[in-house]
Amino acid sequence: MSKRLPSEEAQQLWQEYRAGDMYALAKIMQSYYADLFHWGMRLQADREFVKDCIQELFLNLWKHQKTVRSVENVRAYLLVVLKSRILRELSRKHTTHQSTLSEEYAFSVEFAADVQLIEEENEVYQIRKLEHGISHLPERQKELIYLRFYQNLSFEQIADVMHLGRQSVYNLLQKSLISLRKNWPVSCLALLIQFTVYGFQFTVAGVC
């Protein structure tokens, strides 16, 4: 993946945009377009639709620059706004079965393990197995993994994007890890894997 615009630079551009500089906003758009597009395509695999949504998003930001607040992380904020715009557009399209719950949206991602640098055949096999496991996780868990490893968001930012509390994000990750355990080579001696989440401890027995 190519280098992203550093968040401090984006922050600076955001200030300039809020001070009335249209080209600062255009620069933000250009810099983060690939990320936003990729994200949009996960929510609705329709290139033109996603492009339109991104256009409207930025035009809206420009029109409402007076009321737009400063943000902690520009890219994470844009991902949040794009998601709600896309979901809103989609629910408008399908008014028949209007889903009031925002967590019922579709999310499609294809994981393609990066095994280029792995020489050991056994490890490639392990990674492929994991890839298969991740691909069969529930959508919300895949979304979390995608946001973490493709969009490189922090857990706090993921919580914002997914409209979840921080704790829920952790729990969701734990769920994923538990269901993936069977894909990891567990040595027969280490049957017990413990992990702690905020002092809340639970134990899983690994099956050899």
End-to-end CA distance of the chain: 37
CA distance 197 to 50: 37
Choice from 27, 87, 89, 168 touching another protein (CB under 8 A): 27
Contact status: 121 vs another protein (CB under 8 A): no
Q: How many chain residues touch another protein (CB under 8 A)?
A: 64
Phi/psi region, residue 126 (left: phi>0; alpha: psi -120 to 50; beta: rest), is: alpha
Q: How far is the CB of 66 from another protein (least distance, A)?
A: 7
Q: Look at the alpha carbons of 197, 200, 201, 202 in this order and tell me if their dihedral is positive or negative.
A: negative
Secondary structure (3-state) at 101: coil
R_g of the chain computed on alpha carbons: 20
- Of 100 and 203, CB closest to another protein: 203
- Of 59 and 103, CB closest to another protein: 59
Q: How far is the CB of 129 from another protein (least distance, A)?
A: 8
**Which of positions 129-158 make contact with another protein (CB under 8 A)?**
130-131, 133-134, 145-146, 148-150, 152, 154-155
Q: 35, 79 in Cβ contact below 8 A?
A: yes
Q: 83, 43 in Cβ contact below 8 A?
A: yes
CA distance 208 to 199: 27
Contact status: 62 vs another protein (CB under 8 A): yes
What residues line the site for another protein (CB under 8 A)? 1, 9, 12, 16, 19-23, 25-27, 29-30, 33-34, 37-38, 41, 51, 54-55, 58-59, 62-63, 65-66, 109-115, 117-118, 123, 126-128, 130-131, 133-134, 145-146, 148-150, 152, 154-155, 170, 173-174, 177, 180, 184, 187, 190, 195-197
